[in-house]
Amino acid sequence: MRVLGIDCGSERTGFGVVESDGRRHQLVISGVIRTSPKDPFAHRIGIIGRRLRDILTEHQPEEAAVEEVFHAANTKTAIKLAHVRGAVFFVLGETGMHVGEYSALTVKSNVVGYGRAEKQQVQMMLRSMLGQDTVFESEDASDALAVAICHATHRSTELRIAGSSMGAVR
Q: Which residues are catalytic?
A: 7, 67, 140
Order across the sheet with 25-34: list the strands: 25-34, 12-20, 2-7, 63-67, 98-102
Pick from 97, 106, 92, 116: nearest CA to 150: 106
Cβ(25)–Cβ(33) below 8 Å: no
H-helix segments, the chain: 41-59, 75-95, 104-111, 119-130, 139-169
At 16, which helix (H) or strand (E)? strand 12-20
Burial 53-64 (b: 16+ CB within 10 A, else e): eebbeeeebebb
Cβ(26)–Cβ(13) below 8 Å: no
